[in-house]
Amino acid sequence: APSGELVRGAAAITSVHSPYARLRPIAVLSAERLAISDLVAAAKWGTGSPIDDPVRERQVLDAVAEQARRLGADPVVTVRIFRDQIEASKVVQRGLHRVWDADPSQAPTERPDLGEVRKEINRISGELVRAIAGSADARSAPSCGPVLAAAAVRVRHERRLDGLHTGALARALPSVCVDGDGGEG
């Protein structure tokens, strides 16, 4: 039989309370938000709608701040993380538009409705606010950076992310850990 120590070690890794279990959903939801950004890019392609939409960004940031407050989480930290999520979405959109400009045969032939796509973004953003609110301990632990990086690598492999989406995922995450680039430290 495995030693008690081994069992406790495995339990610590697989527990829903482990730092990995707390941080992995942030990486997963960030990757999902970036996958939806492909649809945002398709919705805007050929319409003249700009990739940067500061009015919509303000709405997104105000909404997540309010959700964080309702959950008793820190709205300032939540907004900081979402500024990176938005930048990452624009990395994906610009990258795809560049590819489609260079080779129009790769461009989407159907145009999704931007309003519908944004409803999906809102849903994922709400889940992400919950994941942020539930991970305060893991985000302030010294292990946060390495654990989050491990989660991102795993998501990259599971979802077979291409270079564009891998780079964008890295752009989405630097403020998640309290001592990350966006932190006060």
Ligand X SMILES: C=C(O[C@@H]1C=C(C(=O)O)C=C[C@H]1O)C(=O)O
| Per-residue contact flags (x/-) with ligand X for residues 121 to 140, judged by CB under 6 A | x-------------------
- Determine the 3-state secondary structure of 117 from DSSP: helix
Q: Which residues of 97-134 are buried (b: 16+ CB within 10 A; e: fewer)?
A: beebeeeeeeeeeeebebeebbebbeebbebbbbbbbb
Q: State which residue, 40 or 73, has the beta carbon closest to ligand X.
A: 40
- Site for ligand X contains 111 (CB under 6 A): no
Closer by beta carbon to ligand X, 42 or else 147 = 42
Tell me, by CB under 6 A, how many residues bind ligand X: 14
List the one residue from 57, 120, 127, 179 that touches ligand X (CB under 6 A). Answer: 57
State which of positions 87-106 bind ligand X (CB under 6 A).
89-90
Please give the full DSSP string across 33-50, using - where no structure is assigned.
HHHHHHHHHHHHTTTT--
The nearest distance, CB 142 to ligand X, in angstroms, is 30
Conformational region of residue 15, where left means phi above 0, alpha means psi within -120 to 50, and beta covers everything else: beta
Other CB atoms within a 10 A radius of the CB of residue 90 amount to 18
User: Binder to ligand X among 8, 17, 56, 69 (CB under 6 A)?
Assistant: 56
Binding site for ligand X (CB under 6 A): 37, 40, 51-53, 56-57, 60, 85-86, 89-90, 118, 121
